[in-house]
Structure 1
Amino acid sequence: MNLALTDLGALLQLIPVQRAGAALLLAAVGLPVIGVVIVGLDIMPVRFAMMHVALLGIAVGLLTGLDPMVCALIACALAGAGVAPLARTPDGLSGAMGLLMSLAIAAALLTLSVSGVNASGAFALLWGSILSVGSADLWVLGILAVLVPGLFWWRRRDLALLLYDRELALCSGVRVERLTLLLLVLVAVAVAGAIKLTGALLVDALTLLPALAARRLGTSLTSITLWAVCIGIAVNTTGFLIALSLDLPPGPVLVLTAGAVALGAHLIPERRTRSWRAPASASFPSSH
């Protein structure tokens, strides 16, 4: 036991490990709030589409010599803004996401093929590379950690109305389409920003799982969001330390840790009906 603690202490002295830990803490502040938005708006397909768009951005970055993660962030932001006008009905968004996924992965594979770029660097990000987190990644996660909770606090009334009922939000003077555009862009950028931490295939550990657990513990949108952030911090810290101690890949350990917490939270009997949660049929802006 003492030897294991000594080894863990030695690992925590390493700069890459410290950067990875800082990145996970920053991610735990902003990304669970994004998860609350994804669950509340019932826009699960968005994160899958943005994984493919991020891969396209990485491929373009490898081809042009630019930073692949910066290209991924820009590509996801543009894609999120581009599909916002189509998000007027659930079917409209689902169709747009399906088309976006197909086109993005095809374009990424074609770019990698014709350019002669080694595809291993691009596809490695599907599984994450948390110890390669650099200063630029920390800046992105830090901005998200400030911007996402700040937006939530500033527009919490509008967000609550948007999650409850779109028509009511419109009647209350909320600029639904503009707010939805902003949310989709933030979701897209957040997914791209988290890819290096857990990989595109496991990004749900940092976004959705804390939000799903928080829904069973909170009684309002604000309390659910606070629960999501607290759970995210606890899960990221615990999962990372377990991975270091047992010499395991952090991504899967984070997912399993977050999943265990989410399952445990769902064993708690639900005592109330949450009025803030919009029905699936009202999850998108009106076409009026």
Structure 2
Amino acid sequence: MILEYSFVQNALLGSLLASIACGLVGTYIVSRRLVLISGGITHASFGGIGLGVYFGVNPILAAMAFAVASACGVQWMSARGRIREDSAIAVFWTFGMSLGIIFSFMTPGFVADLSSYLFGSILAIGPGDLWVLGIVAAAVVATFALLMRTIVCTAFDPVFARSLRLPVPAIEYIMMALTAMTIVATLRLVGIVLAISLLTMPQLTAGIFTYSFPRMATLSILFGMAYCAGGLAVSYWLNVPSGASIIFVSIIIYAALKTIKTAAAKFM
């Protein structure tokens, strides 16, 4: 039976941890309309991977540090009004990608594992990747458990949150850092090219059924798990890349559910 293989067990555990982290963080991103920022952070993280490969440092840890710095940089530049938010995203997006490409090509020898960070390889994740995912998921859950009310207020109406004297700037920086960490932690699952979908597709699907932040977060976690499991199955049956399969399944299910709801609404 396929579940007897350790790499499949690692893939399923990784999917569970990634779904928890992405379900919570992604709900904040979608509610706050920060999808473009998450895309910028995703691609900027490639700069950290290139630096890590060149200097012999763990690429995931290097990418995480670079992504957190980029996320905080975007937040700082846009909050101070020094540059428009979309322009700040473009700066870090292109800088990170160019830096990653330069240092990857400067690395002596052939970097065989580089494609797994670009396109994902969930069946290749090991104990180290699971530890990173576990720590990030635990940090995300703890943050939401302690600061749920403030996070929800900041996500939907930061101006109103400030009027309540809530620490909006601190929450924004914390959530940007958690977003960066979550993105990097999931790179081995779906890769840089597709990571943004794991933070948005479960939330879009959950939004079909509810607009409540807590319920949307819960449904996003469940849909994330279902998408990962379905994508793994498609990947196994068709012998195609698992990261792309996960995103393909998520989009197909979302489109089907959206079509069903729209059709049902016409007859009600």
Whether TM-score is above 0.5 comes out as yes
Q: CA deviation at 1:46?
A: 1.9
2-structure distance, mates of 1:173, 1:51: 32
Q: CA deviation at 1:219?
A: 3.7
Q: Which residue of 2 aligns with 1:131?
A: 123
1-structure distance, mates of 2:13, 2:116: 22
Q: CA deviation at 1:175?
A: 0.8
Q: Which residue of 2 aligns with 1:174?
A: 166
2-structure distance, mates of 1:68, 1:117: 16
Contact 1:25-1:237 at 8 Å conserved across structures: no
Q: Does 1:228 align with 2:228?
A: no
Q: CA deviation at 1:124?
A: 3.9
Select which of 15, 21, 39 maps to 1:48.
39
Name stretches of at least 5 consecutive residues in structure 2 with no aligned partner. Answer: none
Select which of 246, 250, 254 maps to 1:258.
250
2-structure distance, mates of 1:255, 1:52: 17
2-structure distance, mates of 1:87, 1:153: 28
Whichever residue aligns with residue 27 of structure 2, its letter is V
1-structure distance, mates of 2:102, 2:197: 30
Per-residue CA shift, 1:196-243, capped at 9, x if unaligned?
A: 101111113421100111112124111111111111112212221232
Q: CA deviation at 1:117?
A: 4.9
Q: Does 1:102 align with 2:91?
A: no
How many percent identity over aligned positions?
21
Per-residue CA shift, 1:266-286, capped at 9, x if unaligned?
A: 232599xxxxxxxxxxxxxxx
CA distance change for structure 1 residues 222 and 45 in 2, over 3 Å: closer, same or farther? same
Q: Which residue of 2 aligns with 1:158?
A: 150
Q: CA deviation at 1:162?
A: 1.1
Contact 2:43-2:96 at 8 Å conserved across structures: yes
Alignment: residue pair count: 261
2-structure distance, mates of 1:123, 1:230: 28
TM-score between the two structures when normalised by the length of structure 1 = 0.84
Select which of 198, 203, 207 maps to 1:206.
198
Match runs of 1:1-288 below 5 Å: 9=1, 11-88=2-79, 92-119=84-111, 121-267=113-259, 268-269=261-262
Q: CA deviation at 1:49?
A: 1.9
Whichever residue aligns with residue 71 of structure 1, its letter is A
2-structure distance, mates of 1:241, 1:136: 24
1-structure distance, mates of 2:258, 2:159: 31
2-structure distance, mates of 1:219, 1:110: 44
Contact 1:49-1:97 at 8 Å conserved across structures: yes
> Match of 1:66, SS?
coil
1-structure distance, mates of 2:118, 2:107: 20
Whichever residue aligns with residue 76 of structure 2, its letter is P
Contact 1:152-1:159 at 8 Å conserved across structures: yes
TM-score between the two structures when normalised by the length of structure 2 = 0.89
After superposition, the CA RMSD in angstroms is 2.1
CA distance change for structure 1 residues 119 and 29 in 2, over 3 Å: closer, same or farther? same
2-structure distance, mates of 1:143, 1:84: 24
> Match of 1:24, SS?
helix
CA distance change for structure 1 residues 218 and 256 in 2, over 3 Å: closer, same or farther? same
> Match of 1:87, SS?
helix
Q: Which residue of 2 aligns with 1:6?
A: none
> Match of 1:210, SS?
helix
2-structure distance, mates of 1:246, 1:122: 23
1-structure distance, mates of 2:41, 2:111: 19
Q: CA deviation at 1:120?
A: 5.0
Q: CA deviation at 1:116?
A: 3.5
Contact 2:50-2:102 at 8 Å conserved across structures: no
Per-residue CA shift, 1:93-126, capped at 9, x if unaligned?
A: 2111101112112222222333435355334421
> Match of 1:199, SS?
helix
